[in-house]
Structure 1
Amino acid sequence: MTEPELDLRKLLAARLHATRMRPYLATALFALHPVPSRLVPTMAVDRYWRCYVSPAFVERTPLEELASVWVHEVSHLLRDHHGRGDRFAARRNLSGPGERLRMNIAADCEINDDAFGEGLPSPEGAVVPAKLGLPAGELMEDYLLQFRLGPYTREMAWLDCGSGADGLDRAWDLGPDGAYGLSAQERDAVRFRVAEGIRGRPGSVPMGWQRWAEEAFHPPQPWRDLLGAALRAAASAAGAGDDYTYARPARRSASLPGVILPSLRRRPPRVSVVIDTSGSVSDAELGSAILEVAAIVRTVGGRRDLVTVVPCDAAARTVVPLCGAEGIPLTGGGGTDLREGFARALRAGVGGARPDVVVVLTDGQTPWPQRRPPCRTVVGLFPRSTARTRWSEQDPDYRPDSPPAWARVVTIG
C-alpha cells in the first residue's frame, strides 16, 4: 500500500480554523512552514519554526482535530520548550532519548491543560496532567520534578513533537541551514507580536497564555531591571522631562493680578534608542534589542509616541517613530560608528524635539563621541569574551575604547 500525498489544502484549512479559534496565535501559526515527512508519526516542529507533517496523519485526522494539533505544536515553540529543555538537562546532567521523552511529556502537560475546547477538540491521546496524577497549571520544569518514566507512561512512548519540543535533533530535521527556517531575530519578533496580542485581549485568553505573555514582556533577567533603573534615573534628573503649561496657572500668579504665569509640569521623557546593527551584532542580540525597546516604552508609561529608534552601523539609518511603525527595521550589517547614531538621534528626536535620554544598545566595538551629549545617556552592552572576539581584521592589536564616563553602562545578558 503506497503512502498518500500530503493533502496541503486540508492542512492549511485546519491552520485557518486554528487562527479563527485562537486569533491571538495567528502570527505564530502563519510563521510555521509545513514540511511533508513520512518519518514523522503525526506532526512535529524544530527550533527553526518548521512543522514536519505526516501525510497519512493528515488524511485520517478530522480537520478540527488537525487545528488543535497546529495550536499544540506552535505552543512548544512560543514557550521555548527546546531551549528550556536544554537548560534543564544541563543543570541536572541529563542525557539520552528517555529524558527527552520525559521533557516532551512535561511540556505537553504545560500546554494541554488549557489548550483545547471552544472549537478545538482534544486530539486523540493528548497528554494532560491528570493522566499522571499531577496538578494543572504548572510549568514543564515543575512537572519534570514530579514524575519518572514507568508503566503508567508506557502508552505515551509514541509521543514525538520533534526537536522544537525537547531540544533533541531528529533524523527528519532540516537543520539550521535548511530551507524555510526562521532566524533568531525573526523568532523573537514572532513571540513578541503574539505576546503583544495576548496582552491586548486578556479577558479572552487562558491564564497560562497570559502568564507567558507577561513573562515575555518581563522576563526574569536582572539586566532588564538594571536598564530600567538606569533609564528612570536619567529621566528623573533635574531638567529632564520638564515643561511649562498654561493649563494650570502657577501659584505665584495670585501675586500678579492680570498676569497669568505658566506652571512647571513634569512630562514623560522623550527617549531615542540607538541600536547597533553592525555585522558584529548577532541576530539573537538584535532580537533582544527589540525586547529592550518594549521595556523602554513601558518605562515612559506606554507612550510609544515618545520613543524613536535609530538603527546604526557605520552610518545612521532612518529615525523610526514607534507610534507609526508596524515593526522596527534593523537594517545594517557593516562596520560600526555610533557617533553617527548619536548625531542623528540628537538632530531628529521625537516630534523634532531633542530627546531627554539617549539609550544605546551595542557590543561596544565602536568609537564614542568626544563630547558629552546635552542629555542623559544609558549604554546597554552586549557581553563579549576577548578570547572569542576578533576586534579588527586590519589591526590585530586594536581594542575598542570603553564607554565614556558620562554614560551609565549596563551589561545586557
Structure 2
Amino acid sequence: MKAETAASTNAEPTGTRNAEPTGSLDLDKLYAARLQAARARPYLATALFALHVVESRQVPTMAVDRHWRCYVSPTFVDLMPEEDLAGVWVHEVSHLLRDHHARSDRVARERGLTGPGERLRMNIAADLEINDDVYGDGLVTPRGAVRPIMLQLPEGELMEDYLRLFRLGPLTQSLTWLDCGSGADGRDREWDLGPDGAHGLSDQERDGVRFRVAQAITGRPGDSPAGWRRWAEEAFHPPQPWRELLGAAVRSAASAAGAGDDYTYGRPSRRSAGLPGVVLPSLRRRPPRVSVVIDTSGSVSDAELGTALLEVAAIARAVGGRRDLVSVLSCDAAARTVQPLCRAEGIALMGGGGTDLRAGFARALRASPAPDVVVVLTDGQTPWPGTQPSCRTVVGLFPRRHSGTSWHENDPDYVPDAPPAWARVVELG
C-alpha cells in the first residue's frame, strides 16, 4: 500500500506528488498541526496532547491503538499539508474518545461478524460517525474524508446504526485503503506495541481523559457539534447493559398480547360478514400506557433516585417517545401524587419514610385509563402485592447485599421477600 494513498480521512494531497520525503519524521510539522487542531477544537485539547506519537514505516498514514498511541508514517507527514494534518489529528483522537475499538469488538460478538472485511466495514462506519459534523469552523476537511452522503446514507447516526445500513460493494470499492488502526475497529495490527509497550495509557488514565473532555464540552455546549454533545452526555451517564435490559423488558411487556389492545366500532370487524345484521367491533392497537412507581423510602439513596429519573426518560424512549403516555408515582409507605412525564428533571420525588409499594401498585392501577405496564424502581425492601396485577409488571431492582441479616428502616432482622414470580425483574447496576 503506497504511503501517498489516502488514510482513513485523507486522499493523496494534490500538488505534493513531487515533494521530497525527508526520511525521518517531521515532528515540528506534526506537532504544529496538533496545536492547530487544539486551537480549532479546544475542548479536545486534553485528548490531543494525551496521544503519544510513535514513528512507524509500517503504517500507511496515521493510526491509533486502544492504548492511546498514534503511529505515524514520516512520508505521509511530508506529503500532507499542515491544515489537513490538523483534521487527521482530530479524526484519530475521535476514534479513541468514542471507544470505537471496544464498541467494534462488542458488535462483532453480538452479530457474529468475523474477518478483515467486516473489520473494514466497522472502520468505515466509525469514520462516518465522526466525519458527519467534526469539520468546518476552523478545521479543514482532509481530502478523501468519508462522509455519509458518499454512501447515500443519512447523517447523525452512530457506528452501530451505520453498520446496519450498508455493505461492502461498488460504493465502498474506493475505501479499501482505510486503516485507522486497532483503535478504530479493535483488530490488532502488526505495528501495535501492545498493552505492555511503552507510553500506553492505563484504563484509569483513559477514563480520566474522556471525563475531562466531556467536562470541557458540557461547560460550553454551544461551541461543540451535536454529536460531541451527545457523546459528552453519555460519558457522564454511560449506557449500561442493565439499561438495555430494562428497556427491552418494558418494550416486551408493552408489545405483548393484550397490552394496548382495545375494541372500536369505528371499523367493523371482518367477522361481521358471517353474521348478517350484527355489527362486531374490530380490535385496535393503541400506544401502551406505562405507570412508573419509584421507591422513595429512606433506604434508597439520592444517587439511586437520580438513576431512577434517568430510567424514567429511558422508559419513555422505550415506548416510542410518547411522554404523555408515561406517568410517575413516588411511593414510600404511602402513594404520592401521580405526575405526567414532561421532563424527568422536573419530577418531584417525595418520601423518605418506610417502604410499602403495595400502596403504589394500588394507586397506579386505579388510574383512568388504566396502565398497560407498571414499572417499579426499588431496592426490594418492601412487601409485594399478594395477587398479580391486571397488567404486566417490570421491576428494576437496585442492588443490595444481604448477608445473614438484612436491613430495614426499623427492623435490623428484616429479610425482604424476593419480587414475585409474575414480575419481570432487571438488576440495576
> Could you say whether these structures have the same fold, taking a TM-score greater than 0.5 normalized by the shorter chain as the test?
yes
Q: Which amino acid aligns with 1:89?
A: A
Match of 1:126 in 2: 145
Q: Which amino acid aligns with 1:108?
A: D
Are the equivalent residues in 1 in contact too, given 2:214–2:236 (CA < 8 A)?
A: yes
Are the equivalent residues in 2 in contact too, given 1:64–1:119 (CA < 8 A)?
A: no
Give the superposition deviation at 1:224. 8.0
Give the superposition deviation at 1:217. 1.4
Change (3 A) 1:232 1:54: farther
Match of 1:199 in 2: 218
Change (3 A) 1:44 1:222: closer
Secondary structure in structure 2 of the residue aligned to 1:145: helix
Change (3 A) 1:48 1:56: same
Cα distance in 2, alignment partners of residues 233 and 173 from structure 1: 52
Change (3 A) 1:177 1:137: same
Match of 2:115 in 1: 96
Give the superposition deviation at 1:65. 0.9
Q: Which amino acid aligns with 1:76?
A: H
Match of 1:165 in 2: 184
Change (3 A) 1:381 1:190: farther
Cα distance in 2, alignment partners of residues 232 and 190 from structure 1: 35
Residue segments in structure 2 that go unaligned for 5+ positions in a row:
1-19, 247-292, 311-351, 353-397, 410-415, 417-425
Cα distance in 2, alignment partners of residues 35 and 132 from structure 1: 33
Cα distance in 2, alignment partners of residues 10 and 150 from structure 1: 37
Are the equivalent residues in 2 in contact too, given 1:85–1:103 (CA < 8 A)?
A: yes
Residue segments in structure 1 that go unaligned for 5+ positions in a row:
238-268, 272-291, 300-355, 357-378, 383-400
Instruction: List per-residue Cα deviations over 1:297-350 (Å, max 9, x = no partner).
Output: x99xxxxxxxxxxxxxxxxxxxxxxxxxxxxxxxxxxxxxxxxxxxxxxxxxxx
Cα distance in 1, alignment partners of residues 27 and 405 from structure 2: 57
TM-score by length of 1: 0.57
Q: Determine which structure has more spread, i.e. the larger CA radius of gyration.
A: 2
Instruction: List per-residue Cα deviations over 1:348-375 (Å, max 9, x = no partner).
Output: xxxxxxxx9xxxxxxxxxxxxxxxxxxx
Cα distance in 2, alignment partners of residues 11 and 381 from structure 1: 52
Mean Cα deviation higher: 165-174 or 3-12: 3-12
Cα distance in 2, alignment partners of residues 80 and 187 from structure 1: 10
1:184 aligned onto 2:203: yes
Cα distance in 2, alignment partners of residues 55 and 221 from structure 1: 41
Change (3 A) 1:147 1:200: same
Q: Which amino acid aligns with 2:160?
A: E
Secondary structure in structure 1 of the residue aligned to 2:134: coil
1:136 aligned onto 2:155: yes
**Among candidates 191, 195, 212, match of residue 231 of structure 2:** 212
TM-score by length of 2: 0.55
Q: Which amino acid aligns with 2:186?
A: G
Give the superposition deviation at 1:234. 4.2
Change (3 A) 1:186 1:155: same
Cα distance in 2, alignment partners of residues 41 and 99 from structure 1: 20
Secondary structure in structure 2 of the residue aligned to 1:176: coil
Match of 1:326 in 2: none
Q: How many residues align?
A: 261
Change (3 A) 1:231 1:197: farther
1:72 aligned onto 2:72: no
Secondary structure in structure 2 of the residue aligned to 1:215: helix
Change (3 A) 1:77 1:406: same
Change (3 A) 1:407 1:41: farther
Instruction: List per-residue Cα deviations over 1:73-95 (Å, max 9, x = no partner).
Output: 00001111111111111111111
Change (3 A) 1:92 1:34: same
1:49 aligned onto 2:68: yes
- Paired-residue identity, %: 66
Give the superposition deviation at 1:215. 1.2
Match of 1:331 in 2: none
Are the equivalent residues in 2 in contact too, given 1:48–1:183 (CA < 8 A)?
A: yes
